[in-house]
Structures are given as structure tokens and as C-alpha cells.
């Protein structure tokens, strides 16, 4: 229907010309002014909200927090009168054909359980003619956590000659605490990180009569076999591995600061806690179980590479070809050479250990992957850097302007795009892809931006090209050191809960059982079953060193 010419619509209301009094016109002008003011306020609020969102995003980026989920504009689906989306719609959005979350499928559990007791449940007062159809099983899982004390009554006799003899204990009885209790104490402390006071309280509440000192002895004494097995991990792994990953963290021992070194890969993990963090310490661990210092031409070459004074090198050249079996004999030789400088003594010690490592030929063509710490870099050894640690140097820069922010984001995006190309190369390496990646590395890290600080960081990264692109020659090595960091994180958790160790035995036990636990996990063995096998002498689980070699062979020939 056409609108009448003498009618005007204002705010959805039709006003005829005869109704346009001076008061109505004044009100209409006020409405127009209010609408204009509301529009201006709405635009101002939107601009302020945009600025707030940008500031919040910047704060989260600087703190390393994940981005907030982007919310779509519009009314909430909870206010939709039709209700929430139906299950059928959600199923369509799922990645699985049946719409369920991956990994949520039900599995049958009870057929795999060991049934310790079966109790039939009969029915009484059945009517005549009832047919027996069998049983419907209902399985209940439970634990029996209670003391189980055994008293051995050892017969005693006095022989005719007056000698008193006593019946011997069974071979598996070595103390007043049985194997399951010893297994439980080790498992709770080293696997579940239960402190000794809490473990003592727990056992007393259950009914075990044990003192705090006895718990400490169960944790630190009588573990020679475990020490030997832990010491066998690194020698076995370096025989069959293509690479080793290393990292370290701080440690407290006897109230002083120390360091825990991790060496491992997909086959094993081994921890070594020492008082110092140095290349000398790293070299001593690498030659395990060997030891000694070899001062030969290789040692002199090492000293020349680190700019030891030429006069001192010339004076020492006459004493090459000597081997020193232990620290005492080596320190005595340094004193005989009248080496007073701590820096010179350190370099000479590193050179002699490095020469012995070369002579033992323990790490032939084996790559070390690390976070670029200086102590992990060794002459004549292949060393690859972690890309995640490298990119952090760029991520830590704080842009202050829009141009810097744009350059910063573009550089980080380009680095991670290049990282994805390296991952693709590892899956299917080709000469053409290799040449493209080498050229792309130069283009990425030599590119000039409008931010000098960013340019400087990119140039430093470019200076480590050979270590970052070692994967082109060895596609089998990882691009990051996350495995080593994940392994050492459990040591950090243990340190936060129990602080440091108070004795050398406690320190060695912590390194040993954390190494064995992590290695068992990588080999597909539960730590509880491993402790049970070793403490009870079941001999069902082969030595971990043999399992490392076996798994390496399976991975090499799938």
C-alpha cells in the first residue's frame, strides 16, 4: 500500500502533517541529536575495545600464554529458543565416522584380568520347570593393601659336642622387610615422588612397624645390582644409536648447588648429578665406564685450538704419549709441569680427556643434539642444535612499534614455515630439496628488516648454519631437544618436592632409579613390574642393556 504524501515515518511511527506541532518538531530534533550521539559513542566504544584486545594479546604474547579462542559475533546459542545443537550436528563436525572423540571407543577389559577368586551366586525358591541358563559374570576389581607378616621358626639343636646349630633362612629372605615392601617403598619414592616423611606416615597408618631411618636405608642401601644396570645403559645405547640428546638442570646436594646432566634418546635415559657444570665433567661422563687422561698429539691439537700459549705448548710437547689412570696421578703431573693458572689446568684436563675419548672411539659418527650450551660442544664430534631453542632468541625480542611488530611476526612465521620444510625433508630427503633448503636458510636469516635488533639476532643464527642444518646430512636426527627436556622434567619435579640429597648414596640412588624408571617407560616395561622382577629374582625381564639393543634392531629392520 502506498504511503500518503502528507505522512512522515519517525522511529517506526507515522506522523501526519496536521500532527506536526512545534512541540513534536522539537522532540524530533532531540531524537535526531540522540541518535547521532549514540552512533558516535558506539564508534568510540568499538575503538577502545579494539585497543584493549590488542593490549591483552600483546601481554599474553610477552608472557608466552596461548591465544584466547576467537569468538564469533552474534547471540549466544544458549539463548536460541531452538536449544543447543543436536547430537547429529555435533557428530557431523567430528573427525570420526561415528562422531565420537578419537580414543573414546569402549574396550573389553575384564577378559584380560587375572581372576583370583570366583564366587557363584545361586537363586533360591525357584518355581518348578525353571531352566538353568548358565551364569552372567560381574567382575569387581579391588586391592588388598594390608600388612602380611611371616614368622620363621628356626629350629635350633645342640650337637653332642656342644655346638648349637640353627636352621638357615630361605635364600630370598635377606632382611626383616620382605620384597614387596621394599618394592613398594622404592616405587612410591622414585616413581610417585612420595617424600620419606609421608611414606613413613603412610606405612605406620597401614600397620607396618618401621622407622624413618629404616625407610632411608631401604632407599639407599643394598642396590649394587641396580647401579650396575644403570651404568650399562649409556654403553649399550651408544653402540646402536645414531644420535644422543643432552640437557642439564640445577640440583642441590648437601646444601650446595650442583648440576644434573641428562643423556638419552628414544631408547634410554641416564642421569648424572655432579658438583660442577663443565666440559670436563661432560667428558668424564662420556668415557664411562672407562677413565683416565691421555696426553698425546691430539691433546696438543686441542690446546692449540683453544689458544693455549705457544711457549707452554712447546714445553709440554716433550711429555706426549703418556697415560694417567686417575685424577690423582693427573693432578700430580699438572703440579710437576708447574701449571698454576686455573684456566690452563682446565684446558689441559679437557685436552687429555678429549684425546682419551678419541682413542677409545666410542662415538664414531654419532651426533649430539643439545640446546647450544658450550660444554656440549666437542671438537671432531658432530653437534646439532635445537630449532626450538634457536627460535626463542627471536621470540624474546620485544617490538615497540607497528613496523617492528610486523617484522617480528613475519620473521617468526618464516622460521616456522622453514621448520615445516625441514620436517618434510626428514621424511623423504632428496638432493633437490636439500639444495632448496640450503638456499632458503641464507635467504631467511640474511634478509634485512627495518629493525636492527632483529637483524642482529638473525645474523647470529645464520652463523650456526652448519649445526642447524646437520639434519640435511643426517635425516634420522630430531630437529629439537624436547625429548631431553621432557625426560629431565621429572627430575625437576623430584627436586621441587624433595629439595636436594644429603648423602652421596642418596644422590646415586636418585640418579639410578630415575634413569631405570625412564628407560623402562621407553622400552614398554612398567616400573612396578621391573622392580618386582629384580627384587624377587624372577629373571623374567632381560637386562635393560639387551632390550636397548633389541629395540634398536627392531627399529632398524621394521
For the beta carbon of residue 348, count every other beta carbon within 10 angstroms.
24
pLDDT, position 108: 66
Q: How many residues does the chain have?
A: 558
Q: What is the DSSP letter of 111?
A: G
Q: What is the DSSP letter of 453?
A: H
Q: Are 440 and 380 in contact (CB under 8 A)?
A: no
- Lowest-pLDDT choice from 24-33, 190-199, 446-455: 24-33
Among 154, 152, 176, 157, residue whose Cα is nearest residue 167: 154
Report how far residue 245's alpha carbon sits from residue 488's, in angstroms, rounded to the nearest whole number.
11
Summarised one tens digit per residue, pLDDT across range 87-134 is 444 444 444 555 555 555 666 666 778 888 999 998 888 898 888 888
* Alpha-carbon dihedral angle through residues 335, 336, 337, 343, given to the nearest 10 degrees: -10
pLDDT, position 71: 53
Report how far residue 430's alpha carbon sits from residue 442's, in angstroms, rounded to the nearest whole number.
19
Task: Indicate whether 243 pLDDT > 90.
Answer: yes
Phi, psi torsion values for 10, nearest 5 degrees: -130, 120
Report how far residue 452's alpha carbon sits from residue 300's, in angstroms, rounded to the nearest whole number.
41
Report how far residue 527's alpha carbon sits from residue 235's, in angstroms, rounded to the nearest whole number.
21
pLDDT, position 86: 44
Average pLDDT, integer, range 212-217: 95
Q: What is the DSSP letter of 102?
A: T
- For the chain, what is the mean pLDDT? 88
List of residues 6+ apart from 154 with CB closer than 8 A: 166, 167, 168, 169
Report how far residue 158's alpha carbon sits from residue 218's, in angstroms, rounded to the nearest whole number.
35
* Percent of the chain at pLDDT exceeding 70: 90
* Alpha-carbon dihedral angle through residues 6, 9, 10, 12, given to the nearest 10 degrees: 150
Average pLDDT, integer, range 522-538: 95
Among 366, 371, 457, 449, residue whose Cα is nearest residue 404: 449
pLDDT, position 13: 67
pLDDT, position 281: 93
More confident residue, 78 or 318: 318
Summarised one tens digit per residue, pLDDT across range 333-362 is 999 999 999 999 999 999 999 999 999 999
Among 188, 228, 225, 229, residue whose Cα is nearest residue 210: 188
- Lowest-pLDDT choice from 21-35, 36-50, 68-82, 495-509: 68-82
Task: Indicate whether 85 pLDDT > 70.
Answer: no
Q: What is the DSSP letter of 501?
A: B
Summarised one tens digit per residue, pLDDT across range 425-441 is 999 999 999 999 999 99
List of residues 6+ apart from 546 with CB closer than 8 A: 236
Summarised one tens digit per residue, pLDDT across range 368-396 is 999 988 899 998 899 999 999 999 999 99
Give 258's strand partners: 251
- Edge to edge, the sheet with strand 269-274 lists 269-274, 256-264, 243-253, 367-370, 382-385
Summarised one tens digit per residue, pLDDT across range 120-176 is 998 888 898 888 888 888 888 888 888 999 999 999 999 999 999 999 999 888 889
Report how far residue 326's alpha carbon sits from residue 328's, in angstroms, rounded to the nearest whole number.
6
Instruction: Please give the grid coordinates belonging to residue 528.
Output: 612396578
List of residues 6+ apart from 248 with CB closer than 8 A: 259, 260, 261, 262, 277, 373, 488
Instruction: Please give the grid coordinates belonging to residue 432.
Output: 633437490
Among 251, 257, 254, 294, residue whose Cα is nearest residue 273: 251
Task: Indicate whether 19 pLDDT > 80.
Answer: no
For the beta carbon of residue 337, count every other beta carbon within 10 angstroms.
16
- Confidence tier at 69 by pLDDT (50, 70, 90): low
pLDDT, position 77: 44
> What are the sequence ranges of the domains in the chain?
179-233+504-556, 238-376, 395-472
Amino acid at each position: 500500500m502506498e504511503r500518503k504524501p502528507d505522512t512522515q515515518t519517525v522511529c517506526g511511527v507515522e506522523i501526519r502533517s496536521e500532527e506536526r506541532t512545534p512541540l513534536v518538531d522539537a522532540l524530533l530534533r532531540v531524537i535526531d541529536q540522540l541518535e547521532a550521539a549514540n552512533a558516535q559513542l558506539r564508534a568510540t566504544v568499538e575503538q577502545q575495545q579494539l585497543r584493549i584486545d590488542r593490549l591483552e594479546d600483546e601481554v599474553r604474547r610477552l608472557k608466552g600464554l596461548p591465544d584466547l579462542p576467537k569468538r564469533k559475533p552474534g547471540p549466544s546459542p544458549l539463548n536460541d529458543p531452538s536449544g543447543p545443537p543436536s547430537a547429529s550436528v555435533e557428530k557431523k563436525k567430528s573427525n570420526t565416522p561415528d562422531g565420537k572423540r578419537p580414543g573414546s571407543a569402549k574396550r573389553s577389559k575384564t577378559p584380560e584380568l587375572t581372576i583370583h577368586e570366583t564366587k557363584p551366586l545361586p537363586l533360591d525358591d525357584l518355581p518348578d520347570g525353571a531352566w538353568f541358563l548358565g551364569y552372567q559374570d560381574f567382575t569387581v576389581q579391588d586391592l588388598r593393601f594390608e600388612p602380611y607378616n611371616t614368622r620363621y621358626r628356626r629350629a635350633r639343636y645342640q650337637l653332642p659336642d656342644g655346638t648349637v646349630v640353627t636352621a638357615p633362612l630361605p635364600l630370598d629372605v635377606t632382611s626383616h622387610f620382605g620384597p614387596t615392601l621394599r618394592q613398594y617403598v622404592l616405587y612410591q619414592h622414585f616413581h610417585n615422588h612420595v617424600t620419606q616423611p609421608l611414606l613413613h606416615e603412610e606405612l605406620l597408618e597401614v600397620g607396618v612397624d618401621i622407622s624413618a631411618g629404616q625407610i632411608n636405608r631401604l632407599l639407599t642401601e643394598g642396590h649394587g645390582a641396580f647401579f650396575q644396570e644403570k651404568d650399562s645403559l649409556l654403553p649399550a645405547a651408544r653402540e646402536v644409536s645414531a644420535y644422543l640428546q643432552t640437557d642439564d638442570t640445577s640440583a642441590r646436594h648437601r646444601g650446595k648447588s650442583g648440576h644434573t646432566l641428562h643423556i638419552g634418546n628414544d631408547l634410554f635415559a641416564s642421569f648424572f648429578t655432579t658438583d660442577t657444570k663443565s666440559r670436563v665433567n661432560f667428558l668424564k661422563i662420556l668415557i664411562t665406564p672407562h677413565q683416565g687422561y691421555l696426553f698425546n698429539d691430539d691433546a696438543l691439537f686441542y690446546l692449540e685450538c683453544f689458544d693455549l700459549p705457544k711457549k707452554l705448548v712447546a714445553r709440554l710437547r716433550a711429555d706426549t704419549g703418556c697415560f694417567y689412570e686417575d685424577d690423582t696421578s693427573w693432578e700430580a703431573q699438572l703440579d710437576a709441569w708447574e701449571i698454576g693458572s686455573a684456566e690452563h689446568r682446565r684446558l689441559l684436563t679437557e685436552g687429555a680427556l678429549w684425546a682419551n675419548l678419541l682413542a677409545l672411539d666410542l662415538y664414531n659418527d654419532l651426533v649430539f643434539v643439545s640446546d647450544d650450551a658450550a660444554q656440549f660442544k666437542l671438537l671432531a664430534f658432530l653437534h646439532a642444535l635445537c630449532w626450538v631453542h634457536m627460535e626463542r632468541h627471536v621470540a624474546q625480542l620485544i617490538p615497540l612499534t607497528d613496523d617492528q611488530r610486523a617484522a617480528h611476526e613475519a620473521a617468526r612465521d618464516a622460521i616456522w614455515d622453514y621448520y615445516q620444510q625441514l620436517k618434510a625433508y626428514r621424511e623423504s630427503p632428496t638432493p633437490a630439496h636439500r639444495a632448496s633448503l640450503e638456499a632458503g636458510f641464507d635467504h631467511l636469516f640474511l634478509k634485512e628488516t627495518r629493525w636492527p635488533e632483529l637483524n642482529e639476532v638473525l645474523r647470529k643464527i645464520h652463523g650456526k648454519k652448519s649445526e642447524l642444518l646437520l639434519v640435511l646430512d643426517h635425516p634420522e636426527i630430531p630437529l629439537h631437544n624436547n625429548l631431553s627436556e621432557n625426560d629431565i622434567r621429572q627430575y625437576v619435579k623430584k627436586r621441587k618436592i624433595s629439595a636436594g640429597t644429603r648423602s652421596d648414596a642418596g644422590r646415586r640412588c636418585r640418579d639410578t632409579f630415575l634413569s631405570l624408571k625412564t628407560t623402562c617407560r621407553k622400552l614398554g616395561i612398567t616400573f612396578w613390574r621391573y622392580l618386582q622382577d629384580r627384587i624377587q629374582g624372577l629373571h623374567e625381564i632381560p637386562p635393560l642393556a639387551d632390550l636397548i639393543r633389541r629395540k634398536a634392531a627392531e627399529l632398524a629392520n621394521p
